[in-house]
Amino acid sequence: MNEPRQANGRERLTTDYYRDEFACKCGCGDDNIDLDHVVRLQRFRSLAKRPNVITSGVRCANHNKAVSGVIKNSSHVLRVATDNVVAGRTLCEMLEIAQEIGFKGIGVYPESNMIHLDSKGPQSGKRRTWGFLRNTGYIGLEEAMQIFERRHT
């Protein structure tokens, strides 16, 4: 891994990622993302061979409360998670790549083709997975993927 560099006034963290992409969306300026997570995300990016948009990275406690309502110990607050949308990749493909890399938490959002990737696992060491639907809330990963398949076949 290269040392962080400046590029066009932005702090480059890995080949494809800049620190400002991970900043809290509330505008508070908190961009102190966990660097191990960024390295893992770079592996994801390299295997996907496509750029991805980080729709949510670090969240301060206030912003997390505003967007998620209930989750207190969100991995976003702990700075070890990102929500990602990869243009040119389906949710199925993103899930396969994420599993290969070994993220500790994976959440899929079939309505928005978004995948949550996090580097903090449960105490047991097992991978935590879930799906999410706007009107239903949290569901199982398998169920969410079935819904995705039905929508796209």
Residues that bind Zn ion (CB under 5 A): 24, 26, 28, 60, 63, 83, 116
117 closest CA partner among 136, 134, 130, 135? 130
CB of 24 to Zn ion, least distance (A): 3
Residue type, 73: N
Q: Which is nearer to Zn ion, 66 or 87 (CB)?
A: 66
Q: Which is nearer to Zn ion, 28 or 141 (CB)?
A: 28
CB of 3 to Zn ion, least distance (A): 27
Helix/strand/coil percent split, the chain, to 5? 30, 25, 45
Q: Which is nearer to Zn ion, 1 or 32 (CB)?
A: 32
Q: Which two tokens stand for residue 150?
A: 């039905």
Residues 6+ away with beta carbon under 8 Å from 139: 130, 131, 132, 133
